[in-house]
Structure 1
């Protein structure tokens, strides 16, 4: 049975927190007595939306959001298997060369078995007309799209380009391999920040190669308003967890085929925000 490691931040402490599940992904218990295992040391000094994944060196790589209006993302590499020690943090200026780029939110990466490269994905607003300082990032939805770059070694990166644009604002994309295809969950960012909104929910699509073409979206999966979807395997099923960010709680659904979903049981630490889950062999 794999060990599941959950990474997350909290509103009180925008740092890397970890929780572990040893019962097959049903209950996650915080480590380090709930205190952060890593604090931000570059850029804005915060680590929002922390994501963990296995890199080409076999070590665990972390990506994180560098605040509300930074065009860079934070990167660090685990030094030990217990995730207690990390390399020096560095800023990856993924959107620095894109005119009018204001932010780079919720970075993740996935391995493309068709090319042998890793795809970094994140959400960005590109608008030269209105500066970042004039935006209410926390309360008003912005015109985000999903952007991407690729790397083989996490040292050099291709130029950023649009990865997914369905013709309306989207954020928080997460991609997993599902057989010979890829499964992507993302948040439809239209609507307003109210639980009765017509959007602000999770949609799904599939594709054979990064960049598309993409199948017509399916969903919504779960209610409104939710964000930060994460997909992981639990036995023969997919599990998706998501953040009820207006209500301060988490939800979960499960599916045997990635298309039909029903409520699932997942216990998570209190107060978590934008969690990701990495399954590791024992």
Structure 2
């Protein structure tokens, strides 16, 4: 522990936690052990998130993970079910944050709020999990980061390394005593068991929330957050990482008044940075920008170019090695279902609605209507058939050239109507198109957002008949 400005607060059961941590092989680095794992080893990404659906039926306040090779197309692990389930505090989390420590081990922090909980209820605690390898996790524990503000909350914890203090900064949103608006606070820790006294890290003069600090880029350090005054994801920077040293250098980005939770991540193949933004109106929808962190110039990324996990909320993205990615996939498995995204309406997905095949803009309810198991074709196993996840035994088939969801009646006619040959996308060969096996000049396409099988001749037809298979 430090002397002087000492580490003065401990999480409950700290002795048990330290013992359990040592037994698990997760040892927090001392200042002398601070060696950064080389970025050159990273070749993939992991995303953490919790889940919310449009009407709340799909809300899961637990930590989920997805993996990606390019940081754009994401495959949920564990069938998009929870991987870290909170067992203490309110037994619910929001706003997870994943960070690789200097010794190569990992920590996940999260806000302590249950499903349906009161966001503004005073709570000084956050959740902490640690891991040596992203698959062996410590038990869930609470860390009190905000004991000097007994009347406020502790939202959206995030981690950065402070090379001067030789410690990790934990930033979070709160309303300090004497304030009438939220700021970004900070505590420092070397072990995620004890912390320094909370202090204001950034005060914008009006309410702000959801911080992400990125250090050591072009000789500068960057802090992004949501401004309640401008409703934008604002960028600030500083030549140090000292509290109150950051100054705005870009007004940032915004999609709508509900855009929040900025998440910065650098491309592994270029100098490009990406900026993720969450939204709560509606839920279950991420926006993405890419650009230059140094200049703060950002360009919106088309939804055709990325697919976030279904119902994902307030994400955290971190580069990982291929070994990390493969270990997570081997331990948790991937996802047994798929979604089909429209090429020319890339926010829209194939779904069934009142037994009709349609494409609808996400988010919608029931969200399960867009989940499909892609089976070997009922009439030709080298082709495919689309079985509904939430209505198993029912398949997309054409009937009078309209596409409907119907129960498999076991006849050869049904099997033929429900079977499609997958081909390179007619509008984009990296996507997919699906040709009817019993009407081989007809393709699955949408027209006025209704699914049909039709001949394809124009550029619009080809775009309507092109889909991305993802999750």
TM-score of the superposition, structure 1-length normalised? Answer: 0.86
Greater relative CO, 1 or 2 (CA 8 Å, sep 6+): 1
For residue 233 of structure 1, the aligned residue among 261, 266, 270 is 266
Q: CA deviation at 1:99?
A: 4.1
Q: CA deviation at 1:145?
A: 0.7
Alignment partner, residue 223 of structure 1: 255
The yes-or-no answer on 1:20 pairing with 2:53 is no
How many residue pairs end up in the alignment? 258
Alignment partner, residue 188 of structure 2: 150
Q: SS state of the match for residue 33, structure 1?
A: helix
Report the CA distance shift for 1:40/1:123 in structure 2 as closer, same or farther (over 3 A).
Answer: same
Deviation sequence 1:129-157 (CA, Å, 0-9, x none): 9xxxxxxxxxxxx8211000112232331
The yes-or-no answer on 1:266 pairing with 2:314 is no
Instruction: Tell me if the contact between 1:19 and 1:30 (Cα under 8 Å) persists in the aligned partners.
Output: yes
Alignment partner, residue 47 of structure 2: 6
Distance 2:266 2:64 in 1: 21
Distance 2:156 2:131 in 1: 19
Q: CA deviation at 1:112?
A: 1.9
The within-5 A match list for 1:1-282 is 2-11=43-52, 12-22=59-69, 24-67=70-113, 68=119, 69=121, 70-79=123-132, 81=133, 83-96=134-147, 98-126=148-176, 143-177=181-215, 178-190=217-229, 199-210=230-241, 211-225=243-257, 226-234=259-267, 235-248=270-283, 249-258=285-294, 259-264=296-301, 265-282=305-322
* Of 52-61 and 231-240, the range deviating more from structure 2: 52-61
Distance 1:212 1:145 in 2: 11
Distance 1:173 1:91 in 2: 20
Distance 2:177 2:203 in 1: 15
Q: SS state of the match for residue 279, structure 1?
A: strand
Distance 2:159 2:253 in 1: 22
Alignment partner, residue 432 of structure 2: none
Q: SS state of the match for residue 15, structure 1?
A: strand
Q: SS state of the match for residue 85, structure 1?
A: coil
Give 1 or 2: higher helix fraction. Answer: 2
Report the CA distance shift for 1:75/1:117 in structure 2 as closer, same or farther (over 3 A).
Answer: same
Unaligned runs of 5+ in 2: 1-41, 53-58, 114-118, 323-471
Distance 1:85 1:36 in 2: 15
Q: SS state of the match for residue 61, structure 2?
A: coil
Deviation sequence 1:57-90 (CA, Å, 0-9, x none): 42110100001332111111125x2x33310111
Distance 1:168 1:251 in 2: 24
Alignment partner, residue 193 of structure 1: none
Distance 1:30 1:55 in 2: 24
CA RMSD between the two structures: 1.9
Distance 2:263 2:220 in 1: 17
Deviation sequence 1:248-271 (CA, Å, 0-9, x none): 311111113441111124320121
Q: CA deviation at 1:128?
A: 7.4
Q: SS state of the match for residue 273, structure 1?
A: strand
Instruction: Tell me if the contact between 2:149 and 2:175 (Cα under 8 Å) persists in the aligned partners.
Output: no
Alignment partner, residue 194 of structure 1: none
Distance 2:135 2:165 in 1: 32
Which structure has the bigger radius of gyration? Answer: 2
Distance 1:174 1:205 in 2: 10
